[in-house]
């Protein structure tokens, strides 16, 4: 308190605040690409060590200079999701959103994209996400940044699924996937492949879904993203369950649960336990189904984030793809580390994998 009072009394307090905010904005920008790549969790951990300073920087810009915020929000969004800060972030986004129409097209698109995916992620506020997505859709053709264009398309595909337009969702995912194959974006490429498989499962296109889910698992393992590996494994188990291949489903879900627990992914564990409960119900054991395979009550509702698909919410008893691709899978496990991350490191051992092939 004493230091804050002394600082507030200085005549150059505004300039000091700007330098502080600019420093932490530069730090966040440095982490932009790594947050979407191989060392995602490591860089998120480094930013988490500076969470208070990053929040102070955002508050300073809101009070004094809002121009840098749309890009800063877009950069920080993955970190916020990985470290459970999206609730706080949404209050900042909501403060800035009324100014969207006064921004240049690039900044407006960044702000609207952040608002759409955050609205879906935080509380499943589909109505707010739909309204904001309509504003984003009007900008899509004019977005020049290839990365921003493709993630905006993915957000629009997610909105199509929310309103029940699975054909539109699948078209959007596949168009985005073609764009991503020409970019060095392993995280989003895997998400798009995985989500296409999830939507195809919901639509009853099981052979196409199997191909995409296998490809997603291979991509996730190739760039060593344990969170996406777990998600793809669980979705393969759900597909086997939908196809009536119960023993195969159990083996895939067992492996998916092991991976999800190892990565401490509450979302994947929830999804997996829900699938196990449905498996028990199909096998004629409603008591075990109600108990979530003996691991506690089976969770209800739709988990948020990239893994936001329950095992029985879509057509033909398939998963509900409404939230697919909307948010981060957390936290991922890495074998490699960058030379100079923005803070400390974190890592957890990967479990030994035994592969069950979906047929």
Q: What is the pTM of this model?
A: 0.76
Residues 283-292 have pLDDT tens digits of 887 777 666 5
Mean pLDDT over residues 21-48, rounded? Answer: 91
Q: Does residue 20 have a pLDDT over 80?
A: yes
Q: Is the pLDDT of residue 120 over 70?
A: yes
- Residue 9's pLDDT band, with cuts at 50, 70 and 90, is low
What per-residue confidence (pLDDT) applies to 287?
73
Among the listed ranges 2-16, 231-245, 318-332, which one has the minimum average pLDDT value? 318-332
3-state secondary structure labels for all residues of the chain: CHHHHHHHCCCCHHHHHHHHHHHHHHHHHHCHHHHCCCCHHHHHHHHHCCHHHHHHHHHHHHHHCCCCHHHHHHHHHHHHHHCCCHHHHHHHHHHHHHHHHHCCHHHHHHHHHHHHHHHHHHHCCHHHHHHHHHHHHCCHHHCCCHHHHHHHHHHHHHHHHHCCCHHHHHHHHHHHHHHHCCCCCHHHHHHHHHHHHHHHHHHCCHHHHHHHHHHHHHHHHHCCCHHHHHHHHHHHHHHHHHCCCHHHHHHHHHHHHHHHHHCCCHHHHHHHHHHHHHHHHHCCCHHHHHCCCCCCCCCCCCCCCCCCCCCCCCHHHCCCCCCCCCCCCCCCCCCCCCCCCCCCCCCCCCCCCCCCCCC
Band of residue 184 on the pLDDT scale cut at 50, 70, 90? confident
Mean pLDDT score, 51-75: 97
């Amino acid at each position: 308190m004493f230091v804050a009072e002394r600082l507030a009394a200085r005549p150059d307090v505004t300039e000091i605040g700007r330098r502080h905010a600019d420093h932490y904005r530069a730090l966040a920008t440095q982490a932009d690409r790594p947050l979407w790549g191989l060392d995602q969790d490591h860089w998120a951990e480094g930013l988490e060590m500076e969470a208070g300073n990053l929040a102070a920087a955002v508050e300073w810009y809101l009070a004094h200079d809002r121009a840098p915020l749309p890009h800063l929000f877009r950069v920080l969004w993955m970190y916020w999701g990985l470290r459970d800060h999206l609730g706080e972030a949404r209050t900042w986004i909501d403060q800035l959103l009324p100014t969207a129409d006064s921004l240049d097209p690039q900044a407006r698109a960044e702000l609207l994209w952040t608002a759409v995916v955050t609205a879906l992620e935080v509380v499943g506020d589909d109505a707010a996400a739909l309204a904001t997505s309509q504003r984003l859709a009007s900008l899509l053709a004019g977005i020049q940044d290839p990365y921003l264009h493709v993630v905006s398309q993915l957000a629009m595909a997610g909105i199509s699924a929310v309103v029940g337009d699975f054909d539109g969702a699948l078209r959007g995912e596949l168009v985005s996937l073609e764009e991503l194959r020409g970019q060095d974006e392993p995280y989003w490429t895997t998400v798009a492949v995985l989500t296409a498989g999830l939507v195809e499962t919901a639509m009853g296109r099981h052979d196409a879904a199997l191909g995409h889910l296998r490809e997603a698992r291979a991509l996730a393992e190739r760039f060593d993203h344990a969170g996406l590996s777990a998600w793809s494994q669980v979705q393969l188990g759900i597909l086997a369950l939908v196809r009536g291949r119960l023993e195969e489903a159990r083996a895939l879900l067992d492996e998916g649960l092991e991976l999800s627990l190892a990565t401490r992914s509450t979302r994947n564990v929830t999804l997996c336990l829900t699938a196990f409960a449905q498996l028990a119900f199909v096998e004629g054991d409603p008591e075990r189904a109600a108990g979530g395979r003996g691991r506690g009550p089976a969770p209800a509702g739709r988990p948020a984030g990239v893994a936001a698909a329950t095992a029985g919410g879509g057509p033909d008893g398939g998963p509900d793809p409404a939230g697919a691709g909307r948010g981060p899978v957390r936290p991922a496990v890495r074998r490699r580390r960058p030379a100079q991350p923005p803070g400390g490191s974190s890592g957890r051992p990967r479990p030994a994998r035994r592969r069950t092939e979906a047929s």
